[in-house]
Chains A and B, each alone.
Chain A
Amino acid sequence: MSDAATRRLMKELAQLKNENPEGLLIDNAITSSDLKQWKIGVVGAEGTLYAGEVFTLQFTFGPQYPFNSPEVMFVGDTIPAHPHIYSNGHICLSILSDDWTPALSVQSVCLSILSMLSSSKEKKHPMDDAIYVRTCNKNPSKTRWWFHDDSV
């Protein structure tokens, strides 16, 4: 971690704890001692397909954060079944690759993912889940994504 990245991540963590945004479990957030990896709980919003379900998002930050996007995926026993989330936890979301800007943050990423869950109309993984999970790189940022549907 560079000093600048550490400084920024410490600020982000303090901000998250201070604001404690709805749907995020910040108190239970686990961060590695070098801040390089975070795990944050997200809770499905009331009135949606995932109401009350708790999932874990894992953030991995490179030394060039926030100028490069963090690597973000679902981890743990429960991966949400969603048309843009693969069963290995990889998430297809444009702000995690092409549309990342340094003005975004852990909080804005978490909230985008929560909103993506909320707008889902069916609980199922993408059509190409089986083949993707078998052939993809372990690092989701190595995947070339095609974003063609912003409705869910």
Chain B
Amino acid sequence: MVQESNENLPTSTSAITEDEILLQDQQMKRIEDEQKAAPLVGDKSPFFTLIGYYDEVTSPAFFAKANELAETYSDIRYIRGDGNCFYRAVLVGLVEIMLNDREKLLKFIASSKEWTDRLVKLGFPDWTCTDFCEYFIEFLQKIADGKTKNEAVFENMNDDNTANYLLMFFRLITSGYLKGNSTEYEPFIGEGMPLAQYCESEIEAMWKEADHLAIIALVKATNIHLRIEYMDRSVAPNGGWHHNLPDGDDATFVPDITLLYRPGHYDLIYKKSVDSSG
């Protein structure tokens, strides 16, 4: 049934004219074009390029923070801001680790296979979900077999069609982790929304940004140590400048992947190696 915002009025969307729809479409298209001007996954750039985004006078806090982070981090890989950035950043971070560590690669292939079975047992639509899993496993297997070289791996991750399949695997295991631990996580979902519905509309749907629950779930599902550095302390969940997931003491926590959070967006960042930090 089609209705306007007043649910008692049985009228259709006739209030929205073709012109208005056209205008909205044009606006959407412009935003999309702006997004698409940036690659899905940028090359590694020097971290100081971030400082250039902020003006010392008009945004002194971010300017100072960027400078401070530049003392610890040497590089940044910009990720496109299309609602998939968190999942994409973790995907790229993990793939980079696996390209350099065959043992971790083989381990992750094995755990991805386990996830395929787990998702089916959790009641995910059988063949569509296993299709995404198989695509992801095949992508990793080709790396393991030496059929896809490093350069091609990044080409794959920068190709929308391939990348969407890979991201979907991450969205599915994020959702699967929450569904498999629903008693623990259901209380954190607002407005009494059932967990399954939250997972389907917020996690399994493409281009939906990851919230804190999704972040925890993907970290647990992939068994990684993740650090998130915040440009703005007010949004860090623990009130600090960074957050370790799963919770860990700074002194002992060794992150596999580090992300930089700027309001509404995640990029991948890399710590200076001991040698270069002097």
Q: Give me the interface of A with B, judged by CB distance under 8 Å.
A: 2-5, 8, 11, 15, 64, 66-68, 83-84, 92, 98-105, 108, 126-128, 131-132, 134-137, 142-149
Collect the chain B residues with CB atoms within 8 Å of residue A108's CB: 125
- B interface residues, tally (CB under 8 Å): 34
The reply on B124 being an interface residue by CB < 8 A is: yes
- Cα distance, A126 to B13, chains bound together (Å): 13
- Chain B residues 10-47 with CB under 8 Å of chain A are 10-14, 16, 18, 21
* Inter-chain contact A126/B128, CB cutoff 8 Å: no
- Shortest Cβ distance from A6 into B: residue: B161
Q: Are A104 and B128 in contact (CB under 8 A)?
A: yes
Closest B residue to A8 by CB, please name it. B131
Known: A143-B13, A148-B7. A105 touches B125 (CB 8 A): yes
Residues of B near any A CB (own CB < 8 A)? 1-5, 7, 10-14, 16, 18, 21, 124-125, 127-129, 131-132, 160-162, 164-165, 168, 172, 200-201, 204-207
Q: Is the CB of A2 within 8 A of B161?
A: yes
**A4-B162, A128-B11, A146-B4 given; 12 more Cβ-contact pairs under 8 Å:** A11-B131, A99-B200, A102-B168, A103-B124, A103-B204, A108-B125, A127-B1, A131-B12, A146-B1, A147-B1, A148-B1, A149-B1
Q: Contact between B201 and A99 (Cβ–Cβ < 8 Å)?
A: yes
Which residues on the A side are within 8 Å of B4 (C-beta)?
A: 146
What distance in Å separates the Cβ of A138 from its nearest Cβ neighbour in chain B? 10
Name A's interface SS: loop
Check B205 against A100 for contact (C-beta < 8 Å). yes
A-B contact pairs, 29 of them (CB 8 A): A4-B161, A4-B164, A8-B131, A15-B127, A64-B160, A67-B206, A83-B1, A84-B1, A98-B201, A99-B201, A101-B200, A101-B204, A102-B128, A102-B164, A102-B206, A103-B129, A104-B125, A105-B128, A127-B1, A127-B10, A128-B3, A131-B11, A132-B2, A135-B12, A135-B14, A144-B13, A146-B7, A147-B1, A149-B1
